[in-house]
Structure 1
Amino acid sequence: MEQIFSREGFDDAGSGPLYLQLQRRIADAMTSGRLAPGDSLPAERDMATMTGLSRVTIRKAIQSLVASGQLIQRRGSGTFVAQRVERLEQALSLLTSFTEDMARRGRSVDSLWLSRQIVSPAPEEIMALGLGAGDRIARLERVRRSDGVPLAIERASIPLSALPDPEAVATSLYDALQANGQRPVRAVQRISAANLAPRDAELLAVPAGAAGLRIERIGYLPDGRVVEYTRSLYRGDAYDFAVELKLAPDGGPT
């Protein structure tokens, strides 16, 4: 760490602005493995003392790396090297759960639970689930992680007739619905771009305002009743969604 933030090498005027020199030095340390994912950087004042650079210069270099997603700042904790995320391609033609998607890739899954409760539905939940104003729902909110890396925030609303006990959801929501004979067999899904708000960005370990994917899913039972209304936010740097397109049956334009 002392070598990375030593005073030597910052006096070469031909190497560009000082903040860029520091930015490159930190980025090179991450590339070479001298700074590993999860490592913490010294405090701003300590870096200024070690390098002989001003705190304004230090702050500008760090903020550039935070904006690019290479570093993460956590309030009250400090600045850390971001976890490296493998991009995943997700097919849109299959109705599967996050747990099933990761299992097919041989990856472990866990959840950081934010909320599991029985509540009165909000107006949008009443509309999506086709409920009456006096009905109650199970509402679940969690961060979905794979191999310890947060990939998505999932907020699901389920009628109590399908999920009377939200605590029954251990890992897979669809497993819990399957156990009650209430797993959806088809769904309508809408995907849109989003810039992550500060709280959501912090949960996903990315900078505030980072690109994300907002996915709204409404799942249906065989008899046409709605059983699931899920709003998810996925990291934009981790997912590519793919769909297979085929020529229309008559071979002509649609």
Structure 2
Amino acid sequence: MGRIRAAEGDRASERFGERIGRFRADDTLPLYLQLQGLIRDAIQAGIAPRGSGIPAERDLAVEYNISRITVRKAIEGLVEEGLLVRRRGAGTFVAGRVDKVFSKLSSFTEDMAARGRVASSRWVSRTTGPVTPEEAMALGLSPGTPVLRFTRIRLADDEPMALEFSTVVGDGLGSTDDVGESLYEALDRAGNRPVRALQRLRAVPIRAQHARMLEIDTGDPVLLIERRGSMRDGRVVEFTRSYYRGDSYDFVAEL
């Protein structure tokens, strides 16, 4: 059985090597940079499509007649660039990065639909209760004011992309059950969709509990976005904190 798996791995590596090309005899770059260049060019050309797997280090080492240390160095560089992503127990894959444009106020569901990806949610909790001091500051509410809270994992094509904590003013929606896939769609139906927002972005290390939800390692860098969404009359209706996987998202601002 072990020989069968090894043979299958060798054949997969050979097919990958045939697609991305071989080292050039006249190339004087270090071998790890040459391998990086081949894989990077294949990703950019669509030869190695988003979400596709990369052969194991040992298979690439045999295919290109180089050491596993050289392969590992090449792969680690591409992971740092955000072109590849490692998934525990599964292997290494071409990252499916998403550009989030800051100049447009849109929901996660709308962002994914615009990119041809299917958005979904894995609900963690839907609750109601009195506003916390932090929420009161963000929403401009008095102590004790009721709010609705939504915690969920946001997925694109069934891959975890973000962990989202949203708080909505109590009269912004009828109940927590009003929210399906899109919070903004629910707010729109209620006539309370935000038309402008103040957003703050910073990089933070992910905590263990949150890392498990996003299927990444504890301490991995994530992008924390804090957003306060306001209606036309200036009232803040939504306060959301989202942790986006650093290996999956690019944030773009047009200046």
TM-score, with structure 1 as normaliser: 0.67
Deviation at 1:2, TM superposition (A): 0.5
The gaps in structure 1 that reach 5 residues or longer are 244-254
Match of 1:111 among 113, 120, 133: 120
- Alignment root-mean-square deviation, CA: 4.2
Give me the whole-angstrom Cα distance separating, in 1, the residues matched to 2:23 and 2:117: 44
CA 1:52 to 1:123, structure 2 compared with 1: closer, same or farther past 3 Å?
farther
> Which amino acid in 1 is paired with 2:59?
D
Residue 166 (structure 1) aligned with residue 179 (structure 2)? no
Deviation at 1:217, TM superposition (A): 1.2
Cα shift readout 1:4-45 (whole Å, capped 9, x = no counterpart): 548x96695952222112222222333444322211112223
What secondary structure is seen at the aligned counterpart in 1 of 2:75?
helix
What secondary structure is seen at the aligned counterpart in 1 of 2:78?
helix
Identity of aligned residues (%): 35
Decide whether the 8 Å contact of 2:152 with 2:163 is kept in 1.
yes
Give me the whole-angstrom Cα distance separating, in 2, the residues matched to 1:24 and 1:192: 31
Segment of structure 1 superposing worse, 36-45 or 166-175:
166-175
The gaps in structure 2 that reach 5 residues or longer are 1-12
Decide whether the 8 Å contact of 2:32 with 2:74 is kept in 1.
yes
> Which amino acid in 2 is paired with 1:190?
Q
CA 1:43 to 1:115, structure 2 compared with 1: closer, same or farther past 3 Å?
same
> Which amino acid in 1 is paired with 2:38?
R
Decide whether the 8 Å contact of 1:138 with 1:163 is kept in 2.
no
Which has a greater percent of helix? 2
Cα shift readout 1:80-105 (whole Å, capped 9, x = no counterpart): 012264x564536xx654556777x6
Decide whether the 8 Å contact of 1:221 with 1:227 is kept in 2.
no
Counterpart position of 1:137? 148
How many residue pairs get aligned? The number is: 233
CA 1:13 to 1:116, structure 2 compared with 1: closer, same or farther past 3 Å?
same
TM-score, with structure 2 as normaliser: 0.67
Counterpart position of 1:35? 48
Counterpart position of 2:134? 124
Counterpart position of 1:155? 165
Counterpart position of 2:65? 52
What secondary structure is seen at the aligned counterpart in 2 of 1:118?
strand
